[in-house]
Structure 1
Amino acid sequence: MTRTKKQQKTWEDLTTGQRVGAVVAGAVQLSLAVAAWVDLAKRPASQVNGPKGVWAAVIAVNFVGPISYFVKGRRTS
């Protein structure tokens, strides 16, 4: 099959290193999101900067969401 310049690579086109990198990046992203959602669920609303529902949605945004929550979303005592 001939690919044009604009077509994306398929999983089979990736090298072993690229596949490992993709799996590791996905695992890190998922771990960050789960940790942020667990923290958000356990944290009282008075300890969160802004509405918890908004932060729950923000956390779903790639790596940026969970990191933003941990940096800006939590109030410290």
Structure 2
Amino acid sequence: MGSTRWNDLDPRIQRTIVFAAGVEIGLKIAALIDLAPRPRDEIRGEKVAWAAAITLINAAGVVPVVYFLHGRVGRTRPS
């Protein structure tokens, strides 16, 4: 089984890969920016564990989305 080189890929596939990587990086940056100043009592679990997971796990943006949906404790809105 041979390996495919970047230049051998169809330009549409190259653009799709670059776009997906950009989305992944953008989600990671947004999640880390949100996580950094947030107090401990507004995070489910340890901040260090979330930061490590967001940074190190490459899963097409899944970990940052999970953080935004389930990692943060909901704030109550003032009446």
TM-score class, shorter-chain normalisation, is 0.7 to 0.9
1:12-60 C-alpha deviation (Å, 9 max, x unpaired): 1111101100100000000000000000002111100011000001112
Q: Number of aligned residue pairs: give it.
A: 72
Match of 2:63 in 1: 65
Same amino acid, percent of matched pairs: 38
- In the aligned structure 1, how far is the partner of 2:74 from the partner of 2:65? 16
After superposition, residues 8-47 of structure 1 pair within 5 angstroms as 8-47=3-42
- Give the superposition deviation at 1:8: 2.8
Listed as ranges, the gaps of 5+ residues in structure 2 are: none
Runs ≥4 in structure 1, deviation > 6 angstroms?
A: none
- TM-score (norm: length of structure 2): 0.84
- TM-score (norm: length of structure 1): 0.86
